[in-house]
A and B are shown apart, each in its own frame.
Chain A
Amino acid sequence: MTTVSQEKAGPAVSGGGIEVRGVTKRFPGVVANHDVNITIRPATVHALIGENGAGKSTLMKILYGVQKPDEGTIAVDGQQVSFASPTDAIKVGIGMVFQHFMLADNLTVLENVTLGGESLFGIGDQARAEINRISDAFGFDLDPDTLVEDLGVGERQRVEILKVLYRGARIIILDEPTAVLVPQEVDSLFANLRELRASGHTILFISHKLDEVLAIADDITVMRRGTTVGEADPKTATKRQLAELMVGSELPSPETGESTVTDTVLLELAGVNVVDEGGRHLLKDVSLTIHKGEVLGVAGVEGNGQSELVETIMGMLRGTGEITLAGTSMGSWHTRERREAGIGFIPGDRHLHGLLLDAPLWENRMLGHQTLPPASKGGLIDRRNAKADTERIIAEYDVRTPGINNTARSLSGGNQQKLIVGREMSGEPILLIAAHPTRGVDVGAQAAIWDHIRRARREGLGVLLISADLDELIGLSDRIEVILRGELVAEFDPRTVTPQDLGAAMTGGKESA
């Protein structure tokens, strides 16, 4: 599907403008770029939007010199450029802020910023003065001598932006900068971005959150299936139009409908504590209850104990306190016994915990269920039934693949996720631990996964839902708990809560503007 891009023919730009023409990139395992065309005007905020897997990351890596395009040209200020490495990109003034921060926690802001850029202003007072100058100019409010470990997520992000400005970037690429932020922090990030724009910087803002894009961008380019499919003017475009450009259909909404919560307690955690080697609490006195037919949502900024909570329930991490499943204590159970007791598990990081990338799909169907039919009989693998059931999942969950003998690696992220969801919903689980169940899947599949969860919930499935998507949490949950630094700090009724309320609770209310 190569829609001809609706480019406006404009003159060559100068002073921080980028022109991308016909860029194509092929490589195995990831959606490639195909005939990508973008014109970024200088001193603007240009949003690049598209579903996960639409090829945004690839394009971004090409612009930052991490990867070389197979075809096509990139021009900065009208000059054609070719980057062999990120160093070349920085030379022409392109800086990049990654979604996952690359900061050393035990170093100060000054040390982090000067690291690798010692030749610019040294590492002493001259560097400190430059950091203060930048910080003051754009309202970053950063002290060069604080340790990064003492900074919040929003401040860390500003350190990352400061790092690229320090290196003389005129064009800043931000990869999903709001993914790790709560709504209040997003507002202050946008204030910083407006300052940057006012001073002549060009910003390429990559996102798939339409509200934010409409709030900040001057121009919008939409990508789908690896190519640019069109442009939109944020002054006139609506969310609906953008969504249609992105996916060709309107965004579904995760409404649960009638409550199916029963009185039967399915999972109970009482006073669960997990402490790391340094004596720091990863989970602190966590108590929660999930009933049959109930979806309990857990909201929180990533890294506040969500993964520890999930791993403790799955038995991958050992803590203290009582965990019972349908009235039976499972504290002494190993992960395998917990799975056999009917706990399905959709891990937050599918490549780390959910797949054998180099194994065929039917073997991946067995993973986590290898002791149960249809995967095995006695101690032996039941190839025939395992394969047949994989075919069923592929059909029911619309996993796009030529066959079950293909490796998991050959699937796109969304299709991998659909396979995992299908696998974990097989064998009628009584409890589903779902961490980011729709992360990286396309809109159609997202709706299908929500449907599957809702149907199982009607039949009595209990669900622990961890999600960074507040709309998904509010739409699917019967109850929402907020986790902060390993503690459950607040409980909300999703029928009345707003994303702003959740955002305030997720940061302890301290950064509420």
Chain B
Amino acid sequence: MKPAVLARKVGQALLAPLIAVVVAVLVTSVVVVVAGASVSEFWDVMTQPPSSRNMVNIVNQSSMIFLAALAAAIGFRMNLFNIGIEGQYTLASFTAAVVAGMAWFPGKLNILVAVVVAMVVGALWAGIAGVLKVTRGVSEVISTIMLNAIAGTLVGYLLSNHGQQYGQGRRTTPIPESSQLAGWTPFAEKDGAIWTLVLLAVLAGVGISFLINRTRFGFDLRATGMNEPAAVASGVNVKRMVVISMLLSGAIAGLIWMPALFGGADYYGPPFQRTLGFTGIAVALLGRNRPLGIFFGAVLFAWLNEQANPLALVADISPSVVQITQGVVVLAVVIAYEVVRRWAAAAEQRALRKALDEQPTAEGVAA
């Protein structure tokens, strides 16, 4: 690709998110004004350089949001709407915590087994929706939403009946000390550590990116997403692809909470962080289902969440305002992508016509 063409492509790729962020900033500012607070104070808080402690949290949170978004993106790439990431990671996290708490294996091996269990449970839970879709034609949107409810209830039931009493609530047996990972403390001890299993997000990102872009399986998956009848005609077994993609998506969903579990949470209980699955769907949209885009989206969301914490103290604004920002970003980005896509298509068409006009046309005819 020529440098000029490359520069144009990069420009096009960045334009839409940029427009979306600008729109989100404007809308949020309006909301802040309507709420009777000071816009300048709001943005002062939001844009101040994060403290060391915040930095660590942003990295940790980004990794979980990234995994959630990656799980959603796998489905989205083939027009499969896995809304059930929430249920898949809830059930997977619980099961993995139970298995790790049992400490059947020593030290690090225990971690590996628990992570594999989480992936398998997530995959199976998502697989139910996949099998229902290909055998009974049940929309995966409906079945995964139902499965979310079932997973939440199931985990609640198991926890309250078999969990360990701990303070007001119940929890799973904490994992043994030998399976706890210290993480990496880039700043002072009190600022906390970056979880070791944040690496899982990196591995999953690289792995999925390779799988989708460089393998035959990935090509089949993308082809199915772009044009299902054409994929069928090209020999893709779409039913099998639906099941495999759901399994894959669920397996990644199973990983979401693993960095936290082994990085300091130590057990599944009331502090378990919910709604990451839904955040992931939004971030996948924001990142256009591309691992790199999702990475930036995850960092943006984690940053907004983290920076919003002092809002109530400093500027007397509810931190919930950033949820509006996040929502508007996603909404605006969907629209901006479409606008930019059309503009880019028109630009390509113009370039094409220009290039063809310069080409000598032997027959003088073009369809």
Question: Which residues of A approach B to under 8 Å, CB–CB?
Answer: 1, 27-29, 31, 51-53, 224-225, 247-249, 314, 316, 334-340, 345, 347, 352-359, 363, 366-371, 376, 379-381, 383, 400-402, 405-407, 409-410, 412-415, 440-445
Given known contacts A353-B230, A376-B216, A28 and B366 CB-to-CB distance under 8 angstroms: no
The interface stretch among B77-85, B187-195, B199-207, B221-229 is: B221-229
Contact A335 B345 (CB under 8 A): no
Within 8 A of A (CB), among B343-358: 345-346, 348-349, 351-352, 355-356
Contact A249 B219 (CB under 8 A): no
A414 to B5, CA, bound (A): 26
Q: How far is the CB of B197 from chain A (nearest CB, A)?
A: 28
Q: Which of chain B's residues has its CB closest to A340's CB?
A: B235
Report how many residues on chain B are interfacial, defined by Cβ distance under 8 Å: 39
Contact with A along B37-80 (1 / 0, CB 8 A): 00000000000000000000000000000000000000000000
Contact B230 A356 (CB under 8 A): yes
Contact A359 B233 (CB under 8 A): no
When distances are taken between beta carbons in the complex, the residues of chain A under 8 Å from B234 are 335-336, 339, 367-370
When distances are taken between beta carbons in the complex, the residues of chain B under 8 Å from A249 are 363, 365
Given known contacts A52-B367, A444-B363, A27 and B346 CB-to-CB distance under 8 angstroms: yes
Q: How far is the CB of B341 from chain A (nearest CB, A)?
A: 9
Q: Which of chain B's residues has its CB closest to A407's CB?
A: B348
B236 within 8 A of A: yes
A381 to B220, CA, bound (A): 11
Contact with A along B313-353 (1 / 0, CB 8 A): 00000000000000000000000000000100110110110
Given known contacts A353-B230, A359-B226, A381 and B216 CB-to-CB distance under 8 angstroms: yes
When distances are taken between beta carbons in the complex, the residues of chain B under 8 Å from A368 are 233-235
B232 within 8 A of A: yes
Q: Give me 25 A-to-B residue pairs in the complex whose CB atoms sit less than 8 angstroms apart, sorted by A's number.
A: A27-B346, A28-B349, A29-B349, A225-B365, A225-B366, A248-B363, A316-B232, A316-B233, A334-B235, A335-B237, A336-B237, A339-B235, A340-B235, A352-B227, A354-B233, A356-B223, A356-B230, A379-B217, A380-B214, A381-B219, A406-B352, A407-B348, A410-B345, A414-B366, A415-B366
A364 to B226, CA, bound (A): 11
| CB contact between A53 and one of B1, B232, B364, B367 (< 8 Å): that residue | B367
> At the interface, is chain B mostly helix, strand, loop or mixed?
helix
Q: Which of chain B's residues has its CB closest to A386's CB?
A: B219
For the complex of A and B, the 6 pairs showing the least CB-CB separation, nearest first, are A414-B367, A336-B235, A402-B355, A368-B234, A28-B349, A53-B367
Q: How far is the CB of A456 from chain B (nearest CB, A)?
A: 20
B164 within 8 A of A: no
Contact B365 A443 (CB under 8 A): yes
Q: How far is the CB of A237 from chain B (nearest CB, A)?
A: 20
Q: Which of chain A's residues has its CB closest to B225's CB?
A: A356
When distances are taken between beta carbons in the complex, the residues of chain B under 8 Å from A376 are 216, 219
When distances are taken between beta carbons in the complex, the residues of chain B under 8 Å from A400 are 356, 359, 366
A366 to B235, CA, bound (A): 12
B215 within 8 A of A: yes
Contact B215 A380 (CB under 8 A): yes
When distances are taken between beta carbons in the complex, the residues of chain B under 8 Å from A409 are 345
Contact A366 B219 (CB under 8 A): yes
When distances are taken between beta carbons in the complex, the residues of chain B under 8 Å from A412 are 366-367
> Which of B5, B219, B223 is most buried by chain A, counting CB atoms within 10 A of its CB?
B219
When distances are taken between beta carbons in the complex, the residues of chain B under 8 Å from A380 are 214-216
Q: Which of chain A's residues has its CB closest to B344's CB?
A: A28
A440 to B367, CA, bound (A): 8
When distances are taken between beta carbons in the complex, the residues of chain B under 8 Å from A52 are 367
When distances are taken between beta carbons in the complex, the residues of chain B under 8 Å from A367 are 223, 230-231, 234
- If A367-B234, A380-B215, A414-B366 are given as contacts, then 5 extra A-B residue pairs at C-beta distance below 8 Å, sorted by A number, are A335-B234, A335-B235, A335-B236, A405-B5, A410-B345
Contact A335 B215 (CB under 8 A): no
Q: How far is the CB of B234 from chain A (nearest CB, A)?
A: 4
Contact with A along B1-15 (1 / 0, CB 8 A): 100010000000000
Contact B235 A413 (CB under 8 A): no
Given known contacts A339-B235, A410-B345, A356 and B367 CB-to-CB distance under 8 angstroms: no
When distances are taken between beta carbons in the complex, the residues of chain B under 8 Å from A31 are 367
A405 to B2, CA, bound (A): 11
A443 to B367, CA, bound (A): 9
Contact B226 A357 (CB under 8 A): yes
Q: How far is the CB of B228 from chain A (nearest CB, A)?
A: 10
Q: Which of chain A's residues has its CB closest to B234's CB?
A: A368
Contact B233 A444 (CB under 8 A): no
Contact B345 A248 (CB under 8 A): no
Contact B365 A355 (CB under 8 A): no
Q: How far is the CB of B92 from chain A (nearest CB, A)?
A: 27
When distances are taken between beta carbons in the complex, the residues of chain B under 8 Å from A415 are 366-367
A51 to B220, CA, bound (A): 35
A198 to B230, CA, bound (A): 48
Contact B359 A28 (CB under 8 A): no
When distances are taken between beta carbons in the complex, the residues of chain B under 8 Å from A345 are 233
Contact A353 B229 (CB under 8 A): yes
| CB contact between A353 and one of B5, B216, B233, B366 (< 8 Å): that residue | B233
> Which of A247, A415, A444 is most buried by chain B, counting CB atoms within 10 A of its CB?
A444
Given known contacts A52-B367, A402-B355, A405-B1, A314 and B349 CB-to-CB distance under 8 angstroms: no
When distances are taken between beta carbons in the complex, the residues of chain A under 8 Å from B5 are 405
Contact B219 A363 (CB under 8 A): yes
